[in-house]
Amino acid sequence: GIQVEQSPPDLILQEGANSTLRCNFSDSVNNLQWFHQNPWGQLINLFYIPSGTKQNGRLSATTVATERYSLLYISSSQTTDSGVYFCAVRAGGTSYGKLTFGQGTILTVHP
Amino acid sequence: GAVVSQHPSRVICKSGTSVKIECRSLDFQATTMFWYRQFPKKSLMLMATSNEGSKATYEQGVEKDKFLINHASLTLSTLTVTSAHPEDSSFYICSARPGQFNEKLFFGSGTQLSVL
C-alpha cells in the first residue's frame, strides 16, 4: 500500500516563529488532507489539498502531486497551535474516503 | 461545515463486558462511515468501512467478531467492542463524508476506551 512519511517527527518552537511541516507519499493520490489533532483528540480539518496551494489565515499548504509531497506552513505560531499535525492521503485506485495517515508531527509552541 | 458527533467521549469498563460507541452525522447523510483506532502517540489506523444497509468491510488483521459494526441509518453507525480486554484499550475515532463522491472527511471527537 501507499506509504506516507511526515517530517520532522517533533518540533519545538517559540511563540511567533514560523515552521514548515512536510509530507511525502509513495504513490499518486486523489485526496490529501492536513489535520490538526488537539490535546483532547479532536481531528480538525485544516486543508483538503490534493494539488496546488491554499491559504487560511496563518496557515498555508502546498501540494506538488507530480513530486509526491505536500508542505504545511505555519506562520507567527501561537501556543494554541500545539498538538499533532497529520497528513492523510487516498491512493489512486482505492475507495473514496479510505485515508492512509502519516505518523504525524508533534508541535509544541512555548510562550 | 459538516459535523460528526461521537458518543461517549470516554468509557471505562471491566474486562469481559461489551461497549457500544455511536457515530452520528448531524447535518448530512453518510452512506459510508469509517472507524479508526489510535494508540498513544501513534497514527490513526483504519479498522473498517461501515456501509449503510450492508455489512462492514474490515481491514486486514481486524477481528470482525470482536469489533461489531452496524450502520442502520444514513446518519448513524455504531461500533461495539465485544468481550473487551485490556489490550482493546485505545482511542477510537469515526469519520464520515457528505456525499458518495465527496473526498473530504470529517471526524468525530473520539472515544477513549479503558478496559480494566
- Whether A96 has a pLDDT exceeding 80, the answer reads no
Mean pLDDT of A1-18: 96
Q: Kindly report the nearest CA distance between residue A42 and chain B, in angstroms.
A: 5
Q: A9 vs A5, A6, A12, A25, A36, CA distance in Å? A: 9, 7, 10, 15, 14
Q: Kindly report the nearest CA distance between residue A35 and chain B, in angstroms.
A: 10
Residue A81 pLDDT class (50, 70, 90 cuts): very high
pLDDT digit string (tens) for B47-85? Answer: 999 988 888 999 999 999 999 999 989 999 999 999 999
Q: Is CATH 2.60.40.10 correct for A4-110?
A: yes
Are A87 and A101 spatial neighbours (Cβ–Cβ below 8 Å)? yes
Q: Nearest 10 degrees: CA dihedral of A111, A22, B111, B23?
A: 130
pLDDT digit string (tens) for A65-74? Answer: 999 999 999 9
**Residues in B touching A30 (Cβ below 8 Å):** 103
HSE on the CB side for A23, CA within 13 Å? Answer: 32
**Residues in A touching B100 (Cβ below 8 Å):** 96
pLDDT of B2 reads 81
**Residues in B touching A96 (Cβ below 8 Å):** 32, 97, 100-103
**Residues in A touching B105 (Cβ below 8 Å):** 33, 45, 88, 97, 99
Locate the chain A residue with the closest alpha carbon to B96: A97
Interchain pair A31, B103: CB under 8 A: yes
- Mean pLDDT over the full length of chain B: 92
- Whether B99 has a pLDDT exceeding 80, the answer reads no
Residue found by looking up cell 485505545 in the block:
B90
